[in-house]
Amino acid sequence: MSVLLQFSLISHIFLGLLGIILFYAVLMVLFKPIDFKRIKFLRRVSLLGLISFLSSWILGGYYYVVYYGNIVKPLIKKSAYPWAHSIFMEAKEHIFLFLPFAALVAVLIFYILGEELEQKQAIKKTVIILSSLIVILGAIMALTGIIISGAARLR
Amino acid sequence: MSFLSINSIAHIISAIIGTGAATAEEILYFKDIRDGKIDEAEARHLRITYKIMHWSLIILVLTGFGILAGVRIKYGGTKTFYSPVLWAKYTIVLVLLANAVLIAARKMPMKWAGSLSLTSWYAAFALGRITEKTREIKWLADFLSKFNFVELYLITMVCYILAVAIVAIILNYLKKIIIKKQ
C-alpha cells in the first residue's frame, strides 16, 4: 500500500470518527436549554461534523476506487469471510450516504432557526432524534469497517 | 516511534486516566452525598471528573481505531479484528457512551448510572489487558480457543451484566448507609 493510500485510509477513519464525535457533542448540548452561546457552539460543531463526513467520503471513495476495489475486494471474496464484502461493505456503501445529508439538515436548522429552536420544542426534539441517528449510524459504519478490514487477510 | 506505537501508548494512558476519573467520581460523590445533598461547589468538582472521563473516552475511541488502522496497514486483517473479547469491549464502550447520553437526557435512573459507568470503565480496561495477555500467555490463549465467537462474546457480556448488577447493589447499599448516618 502506498503512503498516499495509507494516508487516505487513516484519514477516512479519523475524519469519520471525528464527525461522529462532533455530532455526539451536538447531541449532548441539545439536551440543555439553547441560548446564544450554545447556538454558536451548535452551528460551528455541526458544520465541522458535516465537513468531516464529506472529507471522509471523498478519501474513502479514493481508497475504494484506487485500491480496495481491485486488490482487497477480490481477496475478501476468496477468503473465509466473503460476507464481509457482500453484506457489510455493500451495506456500508449505501447506508453511509445518510450521514452527510442528515448532517446537512442539522446544520441548516441550527443556522436558520438559531435561538428560536428553544421556543420550537417539536423541532428541537426532531433535531435530537436526527443527531442520535447520525451518531448511531456513524457507530455502525465504524464497526462494519472493522469487520471488513478484518477479512482482508493479506498473508 | 511508529503510528501504531503512538496510538497504543495514548490508548493505554487514556484508559488509565479515564478509569481513574470514574473511580474518583464515585469517591467524590459518596463524600459529597454525606450531608444528603450536592451543593454547587461539589457539583463543580463532579463536572471536572466527568469532563476528564469524556475526553478520555474520546481519545480512547480515536486511538483504538488508530491501533486497528495501524495493524491493518502493517499486517493486513488479523484475528484481532474478529476477537470476541474485543467486540465485547466495543459493546461496553457503546454502553458507556449511551449511558452518558441518557444521563444528559435525564432518562437514566441514578441508581444505575454510577454502577454502569464504573463497571464499564473497569471492564473495558480488563478486556483490553486480556486481549494483550492472550498473545503472551499460552494457557490463556488455549483456554479461550475452546470457545467460538458467539460463546465467548456471550460469556463476556453475561459476566459484565452480572458485574454491573453487583456493583449497583453495593453502591446503593453504601449510599443508604452513608445517608442514614446523618
Chain segment B12-42, per-residue pLDDT in tens: 999 999 999 999 999 988 888 887 777 888 8
CA distances from A146 to A76, A82, A120, B77 (A): 13, 14, 40, 9
- The domain total for chain B is 1
Q: Is B76 left (phi over 0), alpha (psi -120 to 50) or beta?
A: left
pLDDT single digits (tens) A40-85: 999 999 999 999 999 999 999 999 999 999 989 998 998 888 999 9
Q: B77 and A21 in contact by Cβ < 8 A?
A: no
Q: What is the ipTM of this complex?
A: 0.88
Q: A143 and B69 in contact by Cβ < 8 A?
A: no
Chain B partners within 8 Å of A31 (Cβ): 104-106
The three grid cell numbers given for residue A128, joined into one nine-digit string: 435530537
Distance in angstroms (rounded) separating the CA atoms of residues B172 and B179: 11
Q: Which domain covers residue B54, as residue numbers? A: 3-180
pLDDT single digits (tens) B64-120: 999 999 988 888 777 788 888 899 999 999 999 999 999 889 898 877 888 999 999
DSSP code of A34? P
Q: Does B154 touch chain A (CB under 8 A)?
A: no
pLDDT at B132 over 60: yes
The three grid cell numbers given for residue A105, joined into one nine-digit string: 439538515
Residue A111 near residue A42 (C-beta atoms within 8 A): no
> Who has greater pLDDT, A95 or B177?
A95
Pick from B106, B113, B97, B101: which is nearest to B29 by CA? B113
Unique residue bearing C-alpha cell 436526527: A130
Question: How many pairs of residues across A and B have Cβ atoms under 8 Å apart?
Answer: 63
Q: Does B73 touch chain A (CB under 8 A)?
A: yes
Distance in angstroms (rounded) separating the CA atoms of residues B78 and B48: 39
Distance in angstroms (rounded) separating the CA atoms of residues B88 and A76: 24
Q: What mean pLDDT comes out for the span B163-182?
A: 86
- Nearest beta carbon to residue B58 from set A21, A150, A152: A21
Chain A partners within 8 Å of B100 (Cβ): 28
| A 13-72: CB under 8 A from B | 13-14, 17, 21, 24, 27-28, 31-32
> Who has greater pLDDT, B44 or A23?
A23
Residue-range domain boundaries for chain A: 3-151
Which percentage of chain B shows pLDDT scores above 90? 48
- Sign of the torsion angle spanned by Cα atoms B103, B109, B113, B114: positive
Q: Round the CA-based radius of gyration of chain A to a whole number and report it.
A: 18
Distance in angstroms (rounded) separating the CA atoms of residues A148 and A69: 13
Question: B130: pLDDT confidence band, cut at 50, 70 and 90?
Answer: confident
Residue B62 near residue A19 (C-beta atoms within 8 A): no
* Amino acid at residue number B180: K
Q: What mean pLDDT comes out for the span B154-166?
A: 94
3-state DSSP: chain A helix, strand, coil percent, rounded to 5?
90, 0, 10
Which percentage of chain B shows pLDDT scores above 70? 98
- Nearest beta carbon to residue B77 from set A14, A132, A152: A152
Counting as low any pLDDT under 70, the low residues of chain A are 154-155
* Amino acid at residue number A115: E
- Nearest beta carbon to residue A146 from set B73, B81, B101: B81
Chain B partners within 8 Å of A21 (Cβ): 58, 61-62
Residue B122 near residue B26 (C-beta atoms within 8 A): no
Query: What mean pLDDT is reported for chain B?
Result: 88
Distance in angstroms (rounded) separating the CA atoms of residues A24 and B47: 18
Q: Whole-angstrom distance between the N-terminal and C-terminal Cα of chain B? A: 55
Distance in angstroms (rounded) separating the CA atoms of residues B87 and B84: 5
The three grid cell numbers given for residue A81, joined into one nine-digit string: 469471510
> Which pLDDT belongs to residue B176?
85
> Which pLDDT belongs to residue A43?
96
Chain A partners within 8 Å of B95 (Cβ): none
Chain A: give the shortest CA distance to residue B132, in Å: 17
Maximum separation of any 2 CA atoms in chain B, in Å: 60
Q: What mean pLDDT comes out for the span B138-165?
A: 89
pLDDT at B175 over 80: yes
Question: B182: pLDDT confidence band, cut at 50, 70 and 90?
Answer: low
